[in-house]
Structures are given as C-alpha cells and as structure tokens.
C-alpha cells in the first residue's frame, strides 16, 4: 500500500516538475498544494481513512511540534462503563494477596474499578489475553523490587490466568504461598511454558555489615556500590522489570540505625537522594555489563504515588473518586533520578514513568480494606486496580 502511495505521489511530482524552471516561486507553492492533494486523492480512492493513521507512528516523525506525540504517561483516567473493567476477579485468582483484595475485605463502593488510563494523544492497546499468552510462550518474565513490584507481579498473573482454562496448570514452582518477606516467588504457566517471577530486593543494592568502631547508632548498612547478592538470578530473563523507592525514607533507614556505605566506608552525612542516585548508577553499570539487551527487554518503573496526609504524614483517607490536578503537582524526585540515570545508560532500557498515573488515584488505595484493617494503607493498591494499568502499558511495549 505504501509503495502504491509512493508511486501515485511520484506521478504528481513529475507532472508538476515540467513547469518548475519557468515559474520558480509559483510552481513551488503549486507543488506543495498539488502533492498534498494527490496524496489525499490517493487515500480517498484506496478507501483509506486518514483518521486511521497510527498516532504512535506519527509521533516518530522528526518534528518540533509536540502535538500528536504519543506519550503513554501523559493522560487522564476516564470512566469506562463498557463492562471491560475490572479485568479480573481477585477472589478467583489464587495469586492475589488477601491484603490487596479490597472487595473481599469489605469495600462497598465499586466505582474505583471502572477507571481506564487514557493517554492524551493515543490509546493503549486493549488487553488481549490470548495474544499475550502466545507472546510470552517459552519466556521468562522477572520482577525485581519491593512490595509494589510484588503487586505488579500478582496483577500480571491474575490478568494472564483469565485466558487459562485449567487453573491448576498455573502454580508456584516451589509450592510457596505469597508472603511479604519471601525473597523469591515463581509462577509457571505450564500450558504455555513460561514463568512469571518475583525477587524481593527493596533497595536493589546489598545490605552490608557494620564497620568496626562505628557509632552506636549504626545497626546496619546499605552497600551502595554493590548490587544485591541475588543479582545473578535476574540474568537470562526475557522481560526484566525493576523498581525501588518506598524504602528510601528516614523511617526505614536512619530511624532504625541503617546508614550508607561506599567503598567499605560509612557515609553518615550522605543524603537519601544522593544515596539513591549512587545505588541506581550501580544498578545501571550492572545492567550494562551483565544483561544481554538483544535478548532481554529491561524496564524500570518509576516511583508510585502514595496519598498519606496530615501534619506527620500518617493519615490515610481514601476518596471515592480520582483526584485531578496539574502535572507539576505530581513530580517525584525519585522518578526524576530514575529517568536521568536511564537516559544516560549505554544500553536500551525503558523507564516506565507511572508516577502521574498513581498520583491521581487517591481512590484506589487499600486503606482499611485489608486483612489487617487496624493499620490503614495509603501506599499499596487494591487489586484489581492501578497495577493493572502498569501491566497494560508493559504489554503495549511488547
């Protein structure tokens, strides 16, 4: 079709070019007008609807005009009453944690399940479970990170299980049950011969020992210049998705005596953001030297927004509707660091900038609808919910 279009436009060019030398300026204008006209005439005659041209393809054109660029993370949540959402029932998915199954834990309103992420200038491909099961046949998908990574892992398994008739053919490789502190979980889809795995590594770098003669307040260290000891397990995967962020705060570091270490030396005065940058550069160097990016597609998911409020940030109030504000309100220093590090890497890695998606969704957190309602949760998400959108975006890359 493209070849025919090219021939049609070439014919118009030859017709116009004969008179070009006589009327230089005028013919130039005519050339532009007639070339455009011939293109549209051709499209009309061939039955092609101009509006059907793929926006994502248009966005690849070299242009200074940002309009029409397909940015999957620049968009809004739209209410979808088509019946498509939610994409699965968490109560029918044995790999969805009870902690995240808000409906089963007593949440009465279901409106939070009906929202679909819509980029401004394009559409995310609708999830087709049969296509994805075939796409993943024989593959190894690995998630590495904290509990938010585990939530995405659970979401992916539940999404894919909707296309499997024999649910017993999907099982955890070692017979383990999902728990918050287990370091490895691997689920096999035997009908399609692939695994979806999760490795718990909340900092991505290694937890180290305390150097001699350290101050008494130092109880443990994080070795910013050495990746987690289980890093060799992440190699030889086909899809590799990383995240880290929620443990990089005072409550989970300095207040429990955990400090940073580089080159075997304590860095007591190092800020959290400087430490985070150092850790990510360590990760980036490892990916560049150890991962075959011709085989493995590497992603790093940015920081996921939480909605703690109050003077001390300990209040969790889940709304009934998404909240909407300007893009500048939803910046994250962690996400900025991730994007900068990824952009400077020598190998292809995709930064999944999901920060804006979650920032709007103050209605989609676990809140008190968990297996422990006495401890509110405005960090994690209900399933089904926001992590499904992350996976829809991930699938669109594939």
Task: Supply 388's token pair.
Answer: 């499904």
Q: Is 380 among the catalytic positions?
A: yes
Helix (H/G/I), strand (E/B), else coil: 290: helix
Q: Do residues 59 and 121 touch, judged by C-beta distance below 8 A?
A: yes
Task: Print the SS3 string covering 49-93.
Answer: CHHHCCHHHHCCCCCCCCCCCCCCCCEEEEECCCCCCCCCCHHHC
387 Cβ contact partners less than 8 Å away, ≥ 6 residues apart: 148, 151, 152, 154, 155, 381
**CA quadruple 187, 193, 85, 88: dihedral sign:** negative
Give the DSSP letter string of 201-257.
-SSSEEEEPPPTT--TT--EEEEEEEE-TTGGGGTT-SEEEE---TT-SGGGTGGGT
Strand order of the sheet with strand 258-262? 205-208, 220-227, 258-262, 265-266
Q: Which DSSP string do the residues of 124-189 spell out, in sequence order?
A: PPPP-HHHHHHHTTT-EEEEEESHHHHHHHHHHHHHHHTT-S-GGGEEETT-PPP-SS-SEEEEEE
Q: Which residues contact 226 (CB under 8 A, 6 or more apart)?
A: 205, 206, 208, 282
Using the Cα atoms of residue 161, residue 143, residue 71 and residue 80 in order, give the sign of their dihedral.
positive
Catalytic residue among 99, 147, 149, 306: 147
Q: Could you tell me if 89 and 155 are in contact, meaning their C-beta atoms sit under 8 angstroms apart?
A: no
* Residue 252: half-sphere exposure toward Cβ, Cα within 13 Å: 11
- Note if 377 is an active site residue: yes
Q: Is 21 a catalytic residue?
A: no
Interior CA angle at 279 toward 274 and 282, to 5°? 130
SS3 percent helix, strand, coil of the chain, rounded to 5, is 35, 20, 45
* 123-136 residues labelled b (16+ CB within 10 A) or e (exposed): ebeebebeebbeeb
**CB distance 222 to 258 below 8 Å:** yes
146, 228, 363, 377: which is the annotated catalytic residue? 377
From the list 246, 307, 365, 380, the catalytic residue is: 380
Catalytic residues: 147, 377, 380
């Amino acid at each position: 079709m493209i070849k025919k279009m090219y021939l049609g436009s070439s014919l118009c060019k030859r017709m116009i070019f004969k008179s070009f030398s006589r009327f230089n300026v005028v013919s130039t204008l005519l050339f532009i007008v007639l070339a455009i006209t011939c293109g549209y005439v051709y499209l009309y005659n061939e039955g092609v609807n101009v509006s059907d041209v793929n926006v994502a393809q248009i966005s690849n054109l070299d242009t200074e005009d940002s309009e029409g660029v397909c940015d999957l993370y620049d968009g809004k949540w739209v209410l979808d009453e088509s019946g498509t959402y939610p994409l699965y029932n968490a109560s029918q998915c044995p790999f969805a944690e009870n902690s995240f199954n808000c409906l089963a834990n007593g949440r009465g309103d279901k409106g939070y399940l009906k929202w679909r992420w819509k980029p401004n200038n394009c559409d995310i491909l609708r999830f087709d479970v049969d296509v994805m099961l075939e796409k993943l046949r024989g593959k190894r998908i690995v998630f590495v990170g904290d509990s938010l990574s585990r939530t995405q892992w659970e979401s992916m398994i539940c999404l894919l299980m909707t296309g499997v008739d024999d649910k017993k053919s999907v099982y955890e490789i070692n017979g383990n049950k999902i728990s918050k502190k287990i370091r490895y979980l691997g689920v096999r889809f035997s009908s399609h011969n692939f695994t979806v795995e999760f490795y718990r590594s909340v900092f991505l770098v290694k937890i180290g020992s305390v150097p001699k003669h350290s101050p008494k307040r130092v109880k443990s260290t994080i070795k910013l210049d050495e990746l987690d000891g289980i890093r060799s397990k992440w190699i030889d995967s086909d899809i590799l998705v990383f995240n880290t962020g929620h443990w990089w705060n005072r409550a989970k570091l300095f207040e429990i005596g955990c400090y940073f270490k580089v080159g075997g030396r304590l860095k007591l005065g190092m800020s959290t953001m400087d430490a985070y940058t150092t850790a990510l550069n360590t990760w980036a160097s490892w990916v560049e030297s150890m991962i075959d990016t011709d085989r493995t597609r590497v992603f790093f998911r940015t920081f996921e927004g939480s909605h703690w409020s109050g003077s001390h940030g300990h209040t969790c109030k889940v709304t009934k509707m998404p909240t909407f504000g300007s893009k500048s309100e939803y910046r994250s220093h962690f996400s900025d660091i991730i994007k900068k590090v990824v952009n400077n890497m020598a190998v292809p890695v995709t930064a999944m900038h999901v920060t804006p998606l979650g920032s709007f969704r103050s209605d989609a957190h676990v809140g008190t609808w968990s297996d422990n309602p006495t401890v509110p949760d405005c960090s994690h998400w209900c399933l089904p919910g926001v992590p499904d959108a992350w996976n829809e975006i991930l699938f669109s890359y594939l």
